[in-house]
């Protein structure tokens, strides 16, 4: 794997591969492409987790490091977004835009995405590696997927999406997973206001960090270690929302809050029914579903 590719994107692929290796009765999803994005160290960790005796007693700190709860959060948020995507495809959505796509393979593992046009927007370095992996796995690139290279720090969606074939008048489902964490407040505002100019009824699922971990207004187990870990990796967390103010902040951008998912809500909906309610989740990571109102954003 090229060294310039995001380390956090590789970790997410590892966590998805681990979840996919669980018994079909208790796993949240199957992501068969995830293993193809792993370097040898992560493949070794995955093999250990699959050994029945060792896997059940595995010291998960070998895999999770300073990211306690992050593995479980990646699993539940992946399932949550899969569910939301399925609901949107069943209600007439004709476009899917995956912002900061990383190694997201929903366009290749979920057959129903073929009924829509999928745009994967991401940094060209990560995108080039992903393109190589998909071609090796499938032999050809799916016709319903369009890759849109963009560095969110230097470019804008306005500049690249029309030329890629994106239609602002079409109802769209946006995925913004693991992206807002790494943007500036201004870049998040620009991104959300761009989404708000899409067709009324379009929806977006985005993940976000609780602002309290940055300003000290809330305390979370493992937050300090996670902040330090991403700084060392060269991919520091930079932005968060306050759940208390989320509905107001979204309304100011022309978006209606449909649902805001906390760790407790994820645990109740997805883990407890499978007898996995005691698995750790990251309490400062959340996900929300929003809908485009059709009203002009304020400001």
Beta pairing, strands 172-176 & 203-209: parallel
Q: pLDDT digit string (tens) for 1-33?
A: 555 566 778 889 989 999 998 899 999 999 999
pLDDT at 171 over 80: yes
pLDDT at 296 over 90: no
| Ranges of H-type helices in 149-206 | 157-164, 185-196
Put the strands of the sheet holding 145-149 in their side by side order. 145-149, 117-122, 95-99, 172-176, 203-209, 285-292, 255-261
Confidence of residue 54 (pLDDT cuts 50, 70, 90): very low
SS3 of 227-244: HHHHHHCCCCCCCCECHH
pTM: 0.92
Instruction: Say which residues have a Cβ less than 8 Å from residue 41's Cβ, sequence separation at least 6.
Output: none
Q: Which of 203, 161, 162, 209 is nearest to 185 (CA)?
A: 209
In order of their start, the domains of the chain are: 67-292 (3.40.50.150)
Helix (H) or strand (E) holding 248: helix 246-251
Distance CA 87, CA 45 (A): 34
Q: pLDDT digit string (tens) for 247-283?
A: 999 999 999 999 999 999 999 999 999 999 999 999 9
Confidence of residue 112 (pLDDT cuts 50, 70, 90): very high
Token reading at 38: 């792993």
Mean pLDDT of 44-60: 59
């Amino acid at each position: 794997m090229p060294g310039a590719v995001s380390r956090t994107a590789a970790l997410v692929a590892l966590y998805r591969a681990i979840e996919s290796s669980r018994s079909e009765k208790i796993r949240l999803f199957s992501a068969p492409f995830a293993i193809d994005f792993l370097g040898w160290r992560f493949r070794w960790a995955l093999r250990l987790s699959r050994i029945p005796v060792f896997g059940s007693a595995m010291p998960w700190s070998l895999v999770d490091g300073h990211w306690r709860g992050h593995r479980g959060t990646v699993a539940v948020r992946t399932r949550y977004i899969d569910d939301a995507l399925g609901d949107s495809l069943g209600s007439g959505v004709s476009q899917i835009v995956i912002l900061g796509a990383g190694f997201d393979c929903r366009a290749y593992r979920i057959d129903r995405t073929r009924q829509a046009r999928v745009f994967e927007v991401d940094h060209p370095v990560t995108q080039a590696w992903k393109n190589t992996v998909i071609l090796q796995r499938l032999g050809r690139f799916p016709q319903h997927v369009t890759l849109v290279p963009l560095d969110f720090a230097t470019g804008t969606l306005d500049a690249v999406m029309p030329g890629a074939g994106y239609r602002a008048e079409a109802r769209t489902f946006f995925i913004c997973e693991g992206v807002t964490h790494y943007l500036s407040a201004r870049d998040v505002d620009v991104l959300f206001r761009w989404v708000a100019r899409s067709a009324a009824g379009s929806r977006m699922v985005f993940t976000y960090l609780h602002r309290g971990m940055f300003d000290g207004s809330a305390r979370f187990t493992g937050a300090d270690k996670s902040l330090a870990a991403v700084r060392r990796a060269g991919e520091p967390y930079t932005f968060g929302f306050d759940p208390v103010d989320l509905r107001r902040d979204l309304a100011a951008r022309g978006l209606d809050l449909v649902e805001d998912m906390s760790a407790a809500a994820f645990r109740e909906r997805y883990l407890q029914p499978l007898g996995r309610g005691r698995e750790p989740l990251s309490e400062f990571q959340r996900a929300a579903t929003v809908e485009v109102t059709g009203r002009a954003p304020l400001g």
